[in-house]
Amino acid sequence: MKLKSEEIIEIFERFKKQNPAPRPELEYSDNYTLLVAVVLSAQTTDKSVNKVTEKLFKLAPVPQKMVRLGAEKVEEIIRPIGLSKNKSKNVVELSKQLIENFNGTVPDTMKELLSLSGVGRKTANVVLNVAFGKKVMPVDTHVLRVSQRIGFSDCDNPEEMEKVLVEKIPSEYMKHAHHWLILHGRYVCTARAPKCEECIIKDICKLNRIK
């Protein structure tokens, strides 16, 4: 049972009314710190990342200072979030790449972002959307789960779901669409015990219709 176009519009109208201008929960001050924070957020929570980046960005708010700080020191700072060895190497290496290939600035195309160490498609889409206002759809575990439950698609491949969402979600909602879906998945449509009684789209959701 898939969502109809009018149901999709109603879902995003309700999200919009509840939260007109959602923002990422990651803390950042510019495109560079956004990129680093998103890279660090893989397989951990935004809250955990914010705790380590508070110190990291004081010491290295720009690529040049991150390179000078070095992978060993970065690893020491970000150790609490896990995968610190690989993440620290990626952060320092992508900082070098920004300096060498992009004059120290974060690029604004998918191809260029994917050329950076530690940057996958989801990270690139977050940066393109948040930093540059592009109408793209980052798909993380929350977005994938919520999209399946609501009734966008049964596919379990993030890249396939990305295509479905970009195709089906009207353009006027795309600026904030992934934030709305992430927040809904994080706080309402949770993995183990979705709070269906609190859900503002429970009358439209496919999960409820098949119960």
What is the spatial distance between Cα 98 and Cα 113, in angstroms, rounded to a whole number?
10
In the CATH scheme, what is the code of domain 5-22+136-209? 1.10.1670.10
Active site residue 140: yes
User: Which residues of the chain fall short of a pLDDT of 70?
Assistant: 1, 208-211
Instruction: Say which of 2, 58, 122, 175 is annotated catalytic.
Output: 122
**CA-derived radius of gyration, the chain:** 18
* Structure tokens that stand for 133 in this block: 């206002």
Q: CATH 1.10.340.30 in the chain, residues?
A: 31-132
Residue spans in the chain of domains classed CATH 1.10.1670.10: 5-22+136-209
Buried-state track 100-136, b at ≥16 Cβ within 10 A, e below 16? eebeeebbeebeebeebebbebbbbbbbbbbbeeeeb
Residue 188 burial class via C-beta count within 10 angstroms: exposed 0-12, middle 13-18, buried 19 and up? middle
Catalytic member of 2, 55, 87, 140: 140
Strand, coil or helix: 49? helix
What pLDDT is recorded for position 43?
Answer: 84
pLDDT of residue 23: 86
pLDDT at 1: 67
Q: What is the pLDDT of residues 153-199, one digit of tens each?
A: 999 999 999 999 999 999 999 999 999 999 999 999 999 999 999 99
Q: How far apart are CA 178 and CA 123, in angstroms?
A: 12
Please determine, looking at this structure, whether the domain spanning 31-132 carries the CATH number 3.40.1640.10.
no
Tell me, yes or no, if 65 is annotated catalytic: no
- Residue 208: the pLDDT is 62
